[in-house]
Homo-oligomer: A and B are copies of this chain.
Amino acid sequence: MQRLNSASGDFAARFRALVEAGRGEGGDVSAAVRTIIEDVRQRGDAAIAELTARFDGFDPAGELRIPTGRIDAALKRVDKDLLAAMELAASRIRAFHEVQRPADHQQVDETGTRTGWRYSPIAAAGLYVPGGRAALFSSVLMNAIPAKVAGVEQLVMVTPTPGGEPNDEVLAAAKLAGVDTIYRIGGAQAVAALAFGTESVPAVDFIAGPGNAFVAEAKRQLYGRIGIDMVAGPSEILIVADSGADPAVLAADLLSQAEHDPTSQSILITDSPSLAQAVLAALPAAFDAISTAETARASWDANGAVIEIADLSEAPALIDALAPEHLLLAVRDPDAVFARVRHAGSVFLGYDTPEAIGDYLAGPNHVLPTGRRARFSSGLGTANFMKRTTFLGCGPEGFQALGPPAARLAEAEGLPAHALSITRRLDRGA
């Protein structure tokens, strides 16, 4: 953890170092991933079976797909109150993403020329869900529901199941979200299977969902052949707080990010030196209260920061430089600060809005740009699972008005067949 003060002479340099510090997991896995992808492309299910035996410790033996009965049974086994919370989440996420569905458009200009666009859903999408320690059923909801709201007909989920046994909550979430089929495979091999298709696994057009370094690199290498949601990195929260915030609450907020992974980052910016001190004083009790303290402490020690500023008006520039995935504005007038912020994945407004509510069930998506990518990219939304087809229709009058200047431009670009396609229509009196 480091402390910065915007009044210090070395602030600019230290802040820039903080902004530019990489928190990557290190290790170039690109060659290993390339080998796995090529193997799956050439040998299909046989390669999948071998890689699953090697990495997940079981032989899928032709049963790559999780049967419907197993999914229904999982849904029945999930605690009733947990299921109710999952259903509330699903319903709110669905409602929010329905509002996000992009609109079609058509316009006709003074020459009678029609232009516009039409959105249509991707036909088949894949969803990667990490397995292992954490059962991230919320990730299933956040990825699958937008796909289904968009109108994706074939939504194929893959998830590694160490030992072969899938997680009940993950299966239940998939069922609630409308996932069509689930395969118990993971890693770069699962991504490759979705991109190329195998005897058992259908090929899809688009792959979403988080994963480890192998999964992320596989998506990157296959981008172009298929669409992907984003290149994701370690997660982060930036909290801007004033003296009205509760230090014990902020300590929990900081650790709620830190507990994800040692590479996560939590930063507090405040104009109140006493609040900064109180939050630091509250951290030991917060660590003591959580079973994930080891991970949270590793993250906080390596990547945490507390930045004191003289006035809240300094905050927006610092926020934009960090372009955080999550921004919590625990201040009296959060909208005033938000109005001056430009680069952030998702913003949590006010003392009563912990990120966790947004992570699970408020409605907006929790799949967000990390590692300063909020400068140029957005969180996952309904439109990621759709594509836009533009169109143009010239009538005779529009053609007469637009054809000659278009032909002039084509000639100047040295593309005579382009010009010919226009002049021949002019010749025949179009």
Residues of A within 8 A of B (CB): 79, 81-82, 84-86, 88-89, 96, 99-100, 102, 105, 107, 113-115, 117, 120, 122-123, 133-138, 169, 205-206, 220, 223-224, 226-227, 231, 246, 248-249, 252-253, 255-256, 258-260, 286, 289-292, 296, 334, 338, 341-365, 368-369, 373-379, 381, 387-396, 398-399, 402-403, 405-410, 412-422, 424-425, 428, 430
Contact = CB atoms under 8 A, between A and B. Distances in A.
Contacts of A416: 259, 289-292
A424 B354 CA distance: 10
A389 B246 contact: no
12 contacts: A88-B405, A100-B105, A122-B375, A169-B413, A205-B375, A206-B376, A226-B376, A246-B424, A259-B417, A346-B392, A350-B393, A356-B410
Contact of A256 (B122, B344, B418): B418
Contact of A413 (B113, B122, B137): B137
A90 B420 CA distance: 22
A290 B286 CA distance: 76
Contact of A421 (B256, B374, B393, B419): B256
Contact of A402 (B100, B137, B357, B407): B357
Nearest to A375: B205
Q: 5 tightest CB-CB pairs across the interface, nearest first?
A: A224-B231, A349-B393, A227-B376, A85-B405, A364-B390
A352 B425 CA distance: 7
Contacts of A86: 409
A23 to B, nearest CB: 14
A149 B393 CA distance: 24
Contact of A89 (B135, B355, B381, B405): B405
Contact of A352 (B135, B356, B379, B396): B396
A413 B376 contact: no
Given A115-B96, A286-B417, A349-B114, A378 B374 contact: no
A100 B169 CA distance: 40
A360 B406 contact: yes
Given A136-B413, A223-B220, A362 B420 contact: no
Nearest to A362: B392
A363 B115 contact: yes
A389 B344 contact: yes
A164 B291 CA distance: 64
A66 B101 CA distance: 43
Given A113-B362, A421-B252, A389 B346 contact: yes
B394 A256 contact: no
Residue among A85, A169, A253, A415 facing the most chain B CB atoms (10 A cut-off): A415
